[in-house]
Amino acid sequence: MTPEVEPLEARLIAILLESPRLVRVLEAAQSLDLQDWRLTAGAIYQTVWNRLTGREPDYGLKDFDLAYFDPDVSYEAEDRVIRHAAQVFPSALSPLVEVRNQARVHLWFEERFGEPYTPLGCTDEALRRYVCPAFSVGVRLEKAGRLSVAAPFGLEDCFAMRLRPNPERPVNPRGFEKVVASCVGRWPELRVSA
């Protein structure tokens, strides 16, 4: 017996599977056989927003964030995975796929973004740290061919096209405002709340 899928989760899955390019990315990602991987962030919520606003599935998508978790936090280990992924993804997609080991994020995050970042225990834990709950969604193409969804704050903000600060993250007004401005510039239908 398969677990029951929530209505918004079923809707999310249906929307994502209608995007040929996103499906190609998921299939290639699955073939990498990475530990604890998810396709996260913009490729997910922006595909939903495109469907909700009648845009093409790929409108506004800048990249595909492929997160995985490997306890080997060496730069060399992550670099090997990145180089291997570049060979696996089709040439038109390879430059757009950003592969990152979530076990290493704490090593560079504070220097790059100006806020502390404690080490993670798994990929899904990273979703709780995204700037907005609407962004905190990740999917994985399982071996059985179904999509599994991780959304620690639920999917309501994503489908309501609502941007609000992550209640579990220290407020970084400059970072939040920058992300919001970028999104609203592409999807003026978004609603922003503090």
| Closest-CA residue to 129 (of 96, 158, 168) | 168
C-beta of residue 57 within 8 angstroms of C-beta of residue 16: no
**157 within domain boundaries:** yes
- Report residues of the chain scoring pLDDT below 50: 1-2
User: What's the full length of the chain, in residues?
Assistant: 194
Q: What is the pLDDT of residue 1?
A: 39
**1 within domain boundaries:** no
**105 within domain boundaries:** yes
**2 within domain boundaries:** no
**66 within domain boundaries:** yes
Q: What is the pLDDT of residue 5?
A: 57
Neighbouring CB atoms inside 10 A of 58's CB total 14
Beta pairing, strands 162-163 & 191-192: parallel
Q: Which residues pair with 150 in a beta bridge?
A: 138
How far is Cα 35 from Cα 13, in angstroms, rounded to an integer? 22
C-beta of residue 45 within 8 angstroms of C-beta of residue 131: no
Which residues have CB under 8 Å from 167's CB, separation 6+? 133
Q: What total of structural domains would you count in the chain? A: 1
Provide the residue type at 115 as one letter. E
Q: What is the pLDDT of residue 112?
A: 87
Which domain range does residue 100 map to? 7-192
